[in-house]
Each structure stands twice: as C-alpha cells, then as structure tokens.
Amino acid sequence: MPIALLALAIGAFGIGTTEFVAMGILPDVAADFGVSIPTAGYMISGYAIGVVIGAPLLTALGARVDRKNLLIALMVVFTLGNIASALAPTFETLLTARFLTALPHGTFFGVGSVVAAALVPVTKRAQAFALMIAGLTVANIVGVPLATLASHELGWRSTYWMIAAVGVLTLLLLIRLVPAQRPQPGASARSELSALARLQVWMTLAVGAVGFGGMFAAYSYIAPMMTEVSGFGAPAVAIVLAVYGLGMTAGNLAGGRAADRALLPTMYAALVGMAAALLLLYALAPFKAAAVVMVFVVGFTGSALVPSLQMRLMDAAQGAPSLAAALNHSALNIANAAGAWLGGLVIAAGYGYTAPNLLGAGLAVAGLLVALASGLLDRRALKSAPAAPGAGSGAPRSAERSAPSAHG
C-alpha cells in the first residue's frame, strides 16, 4: 500500500481521538463544569452535528480545489478547533469549539477516501479505505485510553492539547507524503450534489444513520456503565476503551477485505452481529470478564460495517464520490448524535446504564431492514435491465466497471 496512506491514517487517528475521547472524559467534564452526565453528553451530540453540517458544505465548496490542498486546509481548522476546546472557559464555549472542530471531519474522510482509492487498483479500494480508517480505530486502542488517563491525571484539557499536536504532525505528513491530486474535469458544487438525486445513496445513508446509532447508543455511556454496573474503577475504563479499540481495528480490517469480496452480505452480517452483541452486552454487563469480551465484539461488528457503507456510497454516487464518501460520515455522526441523545434519554428516564444497549440492538435491526430493502431494489433493477446492469442500480461490482471516476 502507498506510503501516502500513512499521512491519511495519522489524520484519521487525530480525528478519531477527538471524536471518541469525549466518551472517556465525560465524567471529568461534567464535574468540572457542574453539569449532569446526560448534559455533558451534548458535547458528543454537538460534535456529531458539526460533522453532519460540515461534510456536505465543505465538500461542495472544495469541489474544484486540489485534493491535497483541501486536506491540508481541513487539518488546519481541526487543529485550531482542538486548541479552542483546550482553552474553553465555559461548557457553552466547549460545545461551540467541539462543533467547529467537527466541521472538517466528514470532508477529510470523504476526500481522503477518494485519494486513497485513486492510489490502488480497483480491487483493493475497500482495503485501502480500511487502512486509512484504521487510524481512527487505532485511536480507540491508543489515543482514547491515553487521553482518558491524561484526563484523570492532568485534567481533561490536556487531552485536547495532545490532539492538537497530532494535528500539527498530520499537516507535516500531508505536505510531505500526499501527491497533488487535481479534481475531476468539470467538478463543481452542482456535480457533487448530483449524488443526492440517487435513491440508493439515501438508502445507504439511512443504513448508517440508523444502524450505526445502535453502537453509539451503547458506546456513548460506556464509562458510567463500566464503573456503575460492571464494577470497574475509573482508571480501568481506559483499558476497557482500549479493548473496544482493538475490536474496532480488527473489525475494520476484516470488513474491508470482506467488502471487496461481497459488499452487501458483509453489510448484512455486520448489522446482525451488532444487534446480537448489544443484546449480550445488555445481559452480561454486570459480569466483568464477560462485559469486556462483549465490548470487544461490539467494536468489531460496528467497525466491520463501515468499509461496506463507504464503498456502497461511492459506487451508488458514480460521478460524485467525494460528497458521497463525506456523507457517509455525516450519516455515522447522525447515528452518533441520535445514539448519544436516545441513550441519555433512557438513562434519564431511570432505566439504568445498561438500557442503551437494548435500545442499540433495536436500532441495528432497523438498519438491517433498510439494508435488505436496498439490496432488494438492486435485484429488481438488475432483472428489469439485464443488458445494462450498472445503470442506476448502484450495484457494487457493476458500478466499478461503469464508473471509473468512483476510484478517483
């Protein structure tokens, strides 16, 4: 795999750390600003909303910009946003800084996915994306646990200073390693927005927004669940988060390989596995060893879903892969916001810290139903147009042949 993927992976590591560290430092932020844990959870939802808004907006505005220069500009905004988070004097200021930090998130992954896909053969696209996104999953093994420990020892503000340093490193690597990559001829905001006219794009986004919300409903409140239900001490939460990150990394790499072989079956299997894992975590949370095992499995199944979603979107969008790939992260962060919000509601209603797992299983099943409906539409389109199976179907393999622009 090209060395340029390292720069993208380091950037993904920083973005993943700043996104997921909120779960680990939630109690510390709540105590510092004198707010409840469900209220502190708004910093998770606020970040997610920033991703949802920023992904389509910045991708459309940057349609005519050299992709390398666009990635550099996005990382500058990300770094400044983390500095602002570290300096936030009030909880409201922190929410604003988190929102601004999130704006480049989806576009970085969207444009980075197109750059990664352009550097490898078409049969390796999902694996190239998985290697880039591995930086995000490794963030849950190294970045989030270390930041959580730093929060306990040095205060939660130290975590954002650490992430800002990763942002500076990413800038240097992007400048050094990533080749210039001009946008497609005729690229414009309108051409990118054309992806929104395709039904399969919207259905795939719905799979991510609903199905992935199941994972976030549980993960958003993993720290209080591990301490209040499983009986772990606060320092042990960092180890549990690392176990979750191991599951994410393994699931991401396995999902990338599987998606290159059988895209839709991989999507179905990941959603079924996620629902089952969340049900088991709900039942086994009071038992320490079993709870840790299920945290790993939840991370594995959730992360295994992402490469298939990304490739499905890029294929369905055909001539507008950057926006489609960016919108995947909008969808996943709608899942983030909705999962954190709904999980907070069931906790505030008195159902306890394990209730978000049960809610999450229901969301995973709902996402599976949408994915099955999307696959059914593909099969019907293939039957009705046997001479041109790629036309308008969004089918993964046919799209690869008929839409070379989808790989950059």
The reported pLDDT for the residue numbered 369 is: 95
In a domain, 58, yes or no: yes
For residue 106, pLDDT over 60 is answered with yes
Q: Please give the single-letter amino acid code of residue 248.
A: M
- Phi/psi of residue 354, nearest 5 degrees: -90, -15
Model pLDDT for residues 168-215, shown as the tens digit of each residue: 999 999 998 888 777 666 666 666 666 677 888 889 999 999 998 888
Average pLDDT estimate for 266-274:
94
In a domain, 299, yes or no: yes
The reported pLDDT for the residue numbered 189 is: 65
Q: Is the dihedral of CA 175, 181, 186, 191 positive or negative?
A: negative
Query: What's the whole-number average pLDDT of the chain?
Result: 83
In whole angstroms, give the CA distance from residue 63 to residue 188: 5
For residue 351, pLDDT over 80 is answered with yes
Range of 210-214, 218-222, 232-236 with top mean pLDDT: 210-214
In whole angstroms, give the CA distance from residue 2 to residue 116: 9
DSSP 145-211: HHHHHHHHHH-THHHHHHHHHHHHHHHHHHHHHSPP-PPPTT--HHHHHGGGG-HHHHHHHHIIIII
For residue 388, pLDDT over 60 is answered with no
In a domain, 12, yes or no: yes
Q: Is the model more confident about 46 or about 170?
A: 170
Burial classification of residue 34, based on how many CB atoms lie within 10 Å of its CB (0-12 exposed, 13-18 middle, 19 or more buried): exposed
Residue 18 in contact with residue 101, Cβ under 8 Å?
Answer: yes
In a domain, 408, yes or no: no
Residue 360 in contact with residue 340, Cβ under 8 Å?
Answer: no
Average pLDDT estimate for 62-74:
87
- CA 208 from chain centre, in angstroms, equals 9
- The half-sphere exposure of 150 on its side-chain side, counting CA atoms within 13 A, is 17
In whole angstroms, give the CA distance from residue 22 to residue 212: 18
Q: Which domain holds residue 274?
A: 4-403
In whole angstroms, give the CA distance from residue 132 to residue 116: 7
Alpha-carbon Rg of the chain, whole angstroms?
A: 20
In whole angstroms, give the CA distance from residue 404 to residue 226: 47
- Phi-psi group of 83: left, alpha or beta (phi > 0 → left; psi -120 to 50 → alpha; rest → beta): alpha
Q: Is the model more confident about 72 or about 337?
A: 72
In a domain, 338, yes or no: yes
CATH number at residue 69: 1.20.1250.20
Average pLDDT estimate for 56-68:
83
- CA 196 from chain centre, in angstroms, equals 20
In whole angstroms, give the CA distance from residue 408 to residue 399: 13
Burial classification of residue 166, based on how many CB atoms lie within 10 Å of its CB (0-12 exposed, 13-18 middle, 19 or more buried): buried
How many structural domains comprise the chain? 1
